[in-house]
Structure 1
Amino acid sequence: MTSDQPLLGKHVLVTRPRGQADSFIDKIKAAGGIVHFVPLIAFRSFLDKREKERLQQLSTYDWIILTSKNGVDFFFRRLEEKGIEWKSLQARFAAIGTKTAAVLKSYGFQAEYIPEKFSADQFAEEINSDRFEANKVLIPKGNLARTTIADALREKGVAADEWVVYETYFPEEEKQHLIDLLKTEKTDVLTFTSPSAIRHFMESIQEAGIHELKQSVIACIGPVTKKEADHFGLHTLVCPDTYTSESLAEEIVRYFRKEED
């Protein structure tokens, strides 16, 4: 093993969704890691029963808060499918994280507000301390997203409407892939970037009767995912301060570099 490749020979499970894992995988490979890609979550459009109402009121929101890259894509996709000229939107945009802001920019909009840490809890703290102010807010989101931001806004007397534009599901075809991998390969690092991935992982291994994970380092992208890992008794050893996949990869590398020392 060399200091340039602290993951040399290490088998790393990557559970990010298809289309979102490439840069993460590249960083793991650059550090010498052997990647096993098993996407444990996928996304599809969701028809919210409140959609008509949200669309009718679209021009009344002064802020639209987007909490994920998927939220951005599925939000604009729904507008396009409904024939709405989204380029004429007058609302200001807030985004949780620079990655979400970058996707938003690809649609021609600038994120005018990004919380200091890329999490709903941090955004809620900033709402509570009056760092973010609004009158009426729309929050396009996934079906599993928490109500943390909307709750904080409502406590401040702000009208906050949530709109579920996509849903997260478990791609069943990956379950056997995961089970076969865990039964035949020693996985040195298990990486998770969402609570859903943790739940789908645990569902799969419990169904297969796999109980031995003590040899694996658990790496989670942030505190919400780590909390879900804790719930299932998984001991997280790697969790970056910045909640991005790039930071997660860097923290994994740092962990094994320390092990090397």
Structure 2
Amino acid sequence: MNAEQPLAGKHIVVTRPAGQAAPFIGKIEEAGGTAYAVPLIAFRMCEDIRDEAVLNQLFTYDWVIITSKNGADFFMKKVGQAGVDVRTLPAKFAAIGSKTAAVLEQYGVEVSHIPKRFSADDLVKEINNGRYMPKKALIPKGSLARDIIGETIRRSGAQAHDWIVYETYFPEDKKAELLDLIRHKAIDMYTFTSPSAVRHFVQIVNEGNEPIPAADFACIGPVTKKEAEKYGLAVSVCPEEYTMEALVQEMSDYYRE
């Protein structure tokens, strides 16, 4: 095996959304692998019954907690449409992960807090042990995101408002594309970066009357891994750091071994 190209000869399916998959695919190809982009989730801005109430209170929050790149982008679009410059908000910003922080910084927003392990669960631990304690937090997020951060803050006696700024949906046109790969390509690994992608993958397999492919599965983060294992997918790769770079590194290490 070429030590510089540990993924040489490997065929890998990338299920990340369109517009977000290119850097991941690039890293797979740099390592010698062949990547197939089949986005199993997509995103769009949506209206929330809380929109008016949240916008009226924007200047009363002491923290805004952004949990993903999509959360950052759609939050900025929402407040922008309302004519608000977020740089004028008195709130500090927390971000789950360095990638999310980088997106906020591109908008000119200073990020004051990032949990060490880049996960919502790690932020919850910081809240529970008193190392991170907002008094009134706004949590912009997607329609399928967990409520764990807001619930933890509220249990502590502080205020937290969850705000749905985008929805996750399944791009139906990708169903035939995935089934074609399953049936006609010798895929070595399927990769997932969200529980939603796992659910849509299993849905397509079941609707196509196909068995779970005899392949390796890679996940980012314990939440996505748990979802995959719930459906009987044997997860071979799950890096401790929840980034594309770490995922490709661990995939490379797995096939080197």
Instruction: Calculate the TM-score normalised by the size of structure 1.
Output: 0.97
Aligned to 1:96: 96
Question: How far apart are the structure 1 equivalents of 2:207 and 2:239?
Answer: 30
Please tell me the residue identity of whatever aligns with 2:89.
L
Q: Distance in 2 between matches of 1:113 and 1:14?
A: 30
CA distance in 1, matches of 2:145, 2:119: 11
Partner of 1:121 in structure 2? 121
Greater CA drift, 128-137 or 78-87: 78-87
Corresponding residue for 2:2? 2
| Residue pairs, 1:83-232, within 5 angstroms | 83-214=83-214, 216-232=215-231
CA shift digits 1:154-180 (9 cap, x unpaired): 111110001000000011111111111
Aligned mates of 1:162, 1:212 — CA distance in 2? 36
Q: What displacement does 1:128 show?
A: 0.2
State the partner residue of 2:246. Answer: 247
| d(CA) in 1 for partners of 2:212, 2:133 | 49
- CA distance in structure 2 between the partners assigned to 1:133 and 1:194 by the alignment: 27
Provide the C-alpha distance between the structure 2 equivalents of 1:229 and 1:21, rounded to a whole number of angstroms.
20
- Following superposition, the deviation at residue 86 of structure 1 comes to 2.5
Correspondences of 1:35-74 after superposition (within 5 Å):
35-74=35-74
8 A Cα contact 1:23 1:246, kept in partner: no
Matched to 1:190, the amino acid is: Y
Deviating more after overlay: 84-93 vs 129-138: 84-93
Cα distance 1:50–1:212, how it changes in 2: closer, same or farther (>3 A)?
A: closer
How many pairs were matched up?
Answer: 257
Whole-Å separation in 1 of the counterparts to 2:33 and 2:134: 46
- Rounded to whole Å, the distance in 2 between the matches of 1:2 and 1:80 is 49
Cα deviation digits, residues 186-214 of structure 1 (max 9, x gap): 11011000000000000001111110422
| Pair 1:146–1:212, CA change in 2 (3 A) | closer
Q: Quick check: 1:15–1:192 contact (8 Å CA) kept in 2? A: yes
CA distance in 2, matches of 1:152, 1:212: 36
Give the whole-Å Cα distance in 2 for the aligned partners of 1:22 and 1:246: 13
Moved more, 82-91 or 108-117: 82-91
With over 3 angstroms needed to count, the CA separation of the structure-2 counterparts of 1:68 and 1:212, relative to structure 1, is closer
The residue type equivalent to 1:232 in the other structure is: Y
CA distance in 2, matches of 1:170, 1:245: 22
**Preserved CA contact (<8 Å) 2:193 2:224:** yes
Percent identity (aligned):
52
- Asked if the contact 2:66–2:141 (Cα under 8 Å) also holds between the matched residues in 1, the reply is yes
Helix, strand or coil at the partner of 1:84? coil
Q: Structure 2 length as normaliser, TM-score?
A: 0.98
Amino acid at match of 2:240: D
Partner-residue secondary structure (3-state), 2:196: helix
- Name structure 2 gaps, 5 residues minimum: none
